A and B are shown apart, each in its own frame.
Chain A
């Protein structure tokens, strides 16, 4: 396998430089300590970082976060910003699952409040929250409603009775991305979206009951409302079939017209259009629809979770005290402003498996968090739990306001399935005190903890590099998967 791994040069303890060679327009930078550096050997992601650097209008660097791993076209964990006039937008730089993201819910409960009811609660969540391949949701959308979902995202969901206005304040972009135009979404994508609102999906998507195990930053934790021993819920889901279809439709379209645009591509999967072109604008308008669908989806999922928690634990809404800490997306392209060589410039930032990580004082950070910065939610594998980080100023200087998004795969799904032959992943996790319910045993094998990098190592790189710093660590108690 051809990789550019041997070309990597160490900049400092947490960064590697991929020098500009051949058709690369800018160099690459990968956030990795020595441990992660070694894991990159043999992975195609280094080459993909170089491929992205070939694209027109790329600014400063082709970046990769420490959870970087092989993806289609762009690496997962990749961040790239493009000039609005000369640059491109690429569906492959966003990913198939548009606005795949995480939503963290805090409660008033502690471990003692749940006690021996964890099993029942998990069963209830598993039974009542649709998950798995081909699952359909409780919300059936009429054509008119669906248009509103695509335009208004989580705002639509709140108006329809799923949650409260306060939820929107702590959702990235207020749960609705601007510029969404349902006219740019194909009939096929709309069809696929009709029945899937309020479904978790399959693969790495999940709903977890977690407990705050450790606090690293008392001030930020207090501002985010996180306390040691507190029971929280983490939801990881996206735009389901609708987002996939939007990505695939525009990918096909951009490949079809690739010769006309004259952009030389090292890989067809990088197919793109100029941002300042009808096709580029149409994709962004369709992508925003996908993003809004995902925010509405996670809003509905939160509402369903609240109902199950209240019923199952016989608690009033006040006693349960469920509230949204934050909802952040990690597959997106956004127009944001950054200081480029002394000038404030609007850029189109692609985050594919990367989380926005804006610092204290930034206008886009919710008012109540603005003194400390934006919460950055990092789910780990099933065994390791999750982290809450907070965005730092250095992210604005170095990574276009971005941080990692998870542990990052180490093994392919096929490899993981092979390695786990003859083992019961559910039993192994149960031995660690983690209850898992999944629609498919295959999913558990593919998602087993060993298939991922150690999330502690990944987060440590971000923390030490000063991009996003640790606030709290959450331990998984129970996990439901598709």
Chain B
């Protein structure tokens, strides 16, 4: 399992990161990167990304989009940044552990991930910077409760256009 640690940044560096993350964090941008699949499972998503980093970032975005009704026009003012370092037996396992970590932040700490920026990725590990804020249910109603990220029907494929993953969430 990974470790979580909020990182301390100097002001100018922090501003730059926040600006960069905010640019990536529009809901519409994220919504095109995954689709819900019709499956006997509770919620199965297919996620894409040009790179592994993008795939992992989009998977986190998909998970939060399944859970939370994020107001279209809402601009995030998220101030908090957390860095997570996650390992797994292989890329698939790493993805599940990574999503688990993000889900724990929400289910265990009431922290909504607004944006995910993977910094380093290998076949067995990822370091990512997550930007988020304490979850405000009044502003962003809960659509579905994801209780767990499962290994069921899990696969990650590489094609000429990039990467694709299928993940089942227990709701």
Contacts and interface: CB of A to CB of B under 8 A. Distances in A.
Interface of A: 43-44, 70, 72-73, 96, 133-134, 188, 191-192, 202-203, 241, 244-245, 247-249, 251-253, 255-256, 258-259, 267-269, 271, 412-415, 442
Contacts of B145: 133-134, 202-203
B7 interface: no
A133 B170 contact: no
The list of the 9 closest CB pairs from A to B, nearest first, reads: A268-B151, A133-B145, A269-B151, A72-B150, A412-B40, A413-B42, A192-B108, A72-B152, A188-B108
Contacts, number: 77
Contacts of A255: 89, 93, 151
B152 A244 contact: no
A248 B100 contact: yes
Contacts of A43: 40
A414 B150 contact: no
Contacts of B154: 268
Contact of A241 (B42, B43, B108, B171): B108
A255 B90 CA distance: 11
Nearest to A482: B145
Interface of B: 1, 36, 38-43, 88-89, 93, 96-97, 100, 104, 107-109, 137, 142-145, 147-148, 150-152, 154, 168, 170-171
Contacts of A245: 104, 108
B41 A134 contact: no
A96 B149 CA distance: 11
Contacts of A412: 39-42
B156 to A, nearest CB: 13
A73 B152 contact: yes
B107 to A, nearest CB: 6
A271 B151 CA distance: 10
Given A255-B89, A256-B89, A271-B151, 6 more contacts: A70-B40, A73-B151, A203-B171, A241-B107, A256-B93, A442-B144
13 contacts: A44-B40, A70-B40, A133-B142, A188-B108, A203-B145, A248-B100, A253-B1, A267-B151, A268-B151, A269-B152, A412-B39, A412-B40, A412-B42
B1 A252 contact: yes
Contacts of A96: 147-148, 170
A252 B95 CA distance: 12
A414 B40 CA distance: 8
